[in-house]
Structure 1
């Protein structure tokens, strides 16, 4: 025979269960705008039916339900979408950082305005042609000198601006390194907190959310994989467990580096190594993982993400000990251009005859002036040529030292005429001369156009891939939000549903109470 209080207990369980559901709904509504929050639900589970199968079971028609109980309060989340999002977020982090570094370089090169290197060089060649037409004109000579100064100043400014941005990237690498290490530390600490809660049979959903937000942030810096490790004890099967995070290469293969180790409760700090061994200067040589005491040469560091793109922009040592990276390569091209162009121009200038020489102001045995020179800090190598280029002191001292006349002397004699502009034409023709730019045989304009064209193509490609990766990431994020985010309309519907069920359970208790009142107070009084 059933207990008289069976219905009361069934209704009490329903009352308690729907109260928990309403509380969870309220928690969802309260966190509707909390970044990274995953909506939660209470899993309704039927309690065991009465009676249990046995030889002494009561004689009732069949098993009778005993009500409902709360299984777990669980996050609504899909792990596959998390993995997809982190993969796309990693690609976007790489391409966005690369695009920004190239766009800053484009701003410095300034080729779309009238102040870029190409336009300044064009004005310089034009001034040489004007001088050839009026070799004795003081104004034409002044324009040539000023145009030469403008060429040198433009190369100096461009090079120093590139160096300034490169230094900023060196500082930013240090900031990003600290952000990565801070994120790893926070994930490790959350692992410890979760490991202290799960063995007691609880699901720390809010801690899970905080950890997943940090893992999402980490995926932007480097490519990672996440493995779940059970916490042990009485942890539920649906518990997320502790996270072990491994470093992957750009193809998704394990590099053997563990960033967060859930077994030892330790994390692997990252240190970016610079060539000078002191601050954030010099080229990047490698990445050190302090917990493993392992250093990977950056030329072998193949984990995509914003860290790799930032170092590639700043510059690093390649496998042969040379310079590589976006900014070092551009500065190297400028140096090569200036060193080759200035040498060819000076050689042609020395072959000409200046007004000073024609007027006999320079004495016997004079061998010609250089038009361009370098400041004292220049070491004579190609590197730094664009930074230290200047107009020679002799040209700055007197415009009459510009060699516009052609040498018509024989047997080593230097003979020229004041009205001759033949050498000025030859100097103008250096623009179209085929020169050897470090193994690339072409003229000055073509070489520079190739450098600018390559930069433009790289920038366009980075922009396109940034947009593509952002579109894919946003698409996955939208899918993830459709699963995990809080819908106020849905929560209001649930709230009404749970409220009605709660009211019904309360009414059921009232009804059972009336039955018990009749049994206790109304039965057995008929013969009185």
Structure 2
């Protein structure tokens, strides 16, 4: 036979369940502006009906409900959107970093402008044309201008080389910082894994720990391409418990490179960057496992920084900044070599002072023996520094001849071998700047595309997981009414019992 006090227990359970829901609603409202927080809900479930199916069950028309209980407190999260977000965030991390590196390079090259190398060289060529019009000793000003313009060309080459190398050193520091950040995030995720593994077997859902872990994973996804698999905690863990995460680094084909966080052993592997004796990136070391840099094709900020700073591909150095520096060096070397050759073929004023029929070959720029580092070493020869009279403007041994100055000015368009291809100084530099501009434009375009896609996924994710104050206020009123109704049921049961116990006494 059912108990007289059965209704009290049913109402009490209703009050406790609605009270839990109100507490959870208050927690949601409190964390409405907390980064990475996912709204939570109480999963209500009806308690076992009375009576249970058995031989000794009371003979009543059917089973009666016994109320409600708060089965679990679950966060609202859609894992598919998390995967999509991290995929787009990974692409954004790569292209955003590459666009930033190329933008810095563009700022240094400063083309087209009145202060770039192209304009500086144009002024140099123009000064040679001006000298050809009046190369006589009396017009010393034109020669002085040529020398100063030559100094400006050398200084601009040196400035470009030095500035690019300075940015490159900054990129190396950023590579190291990014590797340390990955290492730190992996350790933090592993610590949360341990806390989750200690909590879930007791039948709890550590929702706030889940949120903290997912926030760290979002940050990690921008640095490297990762794959997440779940390791169940065991014990009395609920079916919806998320367990510990194993995190693997993937290459561009989706194949695993190394384990960053092991959810089974609850261990995190360290992350380091290995450098070649030349100073460029050679390998990535994860937990003692060495990955050759050519195999480390995991997209993300780390790979982008390595591509910008420079890396060893066999015996060859590759990367945005090394390649730009090499191209500048080749251009400077070819320019100095060709210009000096034409300059040595001419006559200078010092020759006329001694013996007009004897030509003394003089270099305009200091001689360079190798293209490596040429842009940073270019300077005027000692003779030109000492006197502009050493400028060989004449093509024949008589005063007033300025034909060699014209030939020197035509070096601008002279076809020569630069970097293994036949071209002119002007065309080579224009193609170099054009290539940089196209790469920058592509990186910026893909950055914008990736950001749009990531933000689109984030908006969908927020529509599922974010706290809506309007919705929480509605829920609060709903749970409050349910709580009041359960309390009213207790009052009703009290009146019924009072009638039964006191009203029927003595009859």
**Matches of 1:440 and 1:5 in 2, distance apart?**
98
**Relative to 1, partners in 2 of residues 1:361 and 1:218: Cα closer, same or farther, differing over 3 Å?**
farther
1:285-344: CA deviations, max 9, x gaps? 11111x2x221121221000000001111111113x111111110000000000001100
Q: What is the deviation of 1:29?
A: 0.2
What's 1:301 paired with? 296
Correspondence list, 1:464-503, <5 A: 464-503=445-484
What's 1:427 paired with? 408
- The DSSP-based 3-state class of the residue aligned with 1:359 is helix
What's 2:126 paired with? 126
Q: What is the deviation of 1:454?
A: 0.3
- The DSSP-based 3-state class of the residue aligned with 1:58 is coil
What's 2:8 paired with? 8
1:240 aligns with 2:242: yes
**Matches of 1:250 and 1:26 in 2, distance apart?**
44
What's 1:370 paired with? 363
Q: What is the deviation of 1:365?
A: 6.6
What's 2:203 paired with? 201
**Relative to 1, partners in 2 of residues 1:365 and 1:132: Cα closer, same or farther, differing over 3 Å?**
closer
What's 1:334 paired with? 328
What's 1:86 paired with? 86
1:190 aligns with 2:200: no
- The DSSP-based 3-state class of the residue aligned with 2:283 is strand
1:147 aligns with 2:149: yes
**Matches of 1:521 and 1:366 in 2, distance apart?**
136
Runs of 4+ residues over 3 Å off in structure 1: 364-367
1:353 aligns with 2:342: no
What's 1:403 paired with? 392
- The DSSP-based 3-state class of the residue aligned with 1:372 is coil
Count of aligned pairs:
505
1:21 aligns with 2:21: yes
What's 1:288 paired with? 285
Q: What is the deviation of 1:438?
A: 1.9
**Which residue, 301, 305, 308 being the options, matches 1:310?**
305
**Matches of 1:477 and 1:103 in 2, distance apart?**
27
Q: What is the deviation of 1:27?
A: 0.2
- The DSSP-based 3-state class of the residue aligned with 2:354 is coil
Any stretches of 5+ residues in structure 1 without a counterpart?
A: 408-415
Q: What is the deviation of 1:361?
A: 6.9
Q: What is the deviation of 1:366?
A: 5.2
8 Å CA contact 2:327, 2:419 repeated in 1: no
Any stretches of 5+ residues in structure 2 without a counterpart?
A: none
1:511 aligns with 2:492: yes
| RMSD of equivalent CA atoms | 1.3
**Matches of 1:250 and 1:373 in 2, distance apart?**
47
What's 2:52 paired with? 52
Length-normalised TM-score, structure 2: 0.98
**Which residue, 244, 250, 253 being the options, matches 1:251?**
253
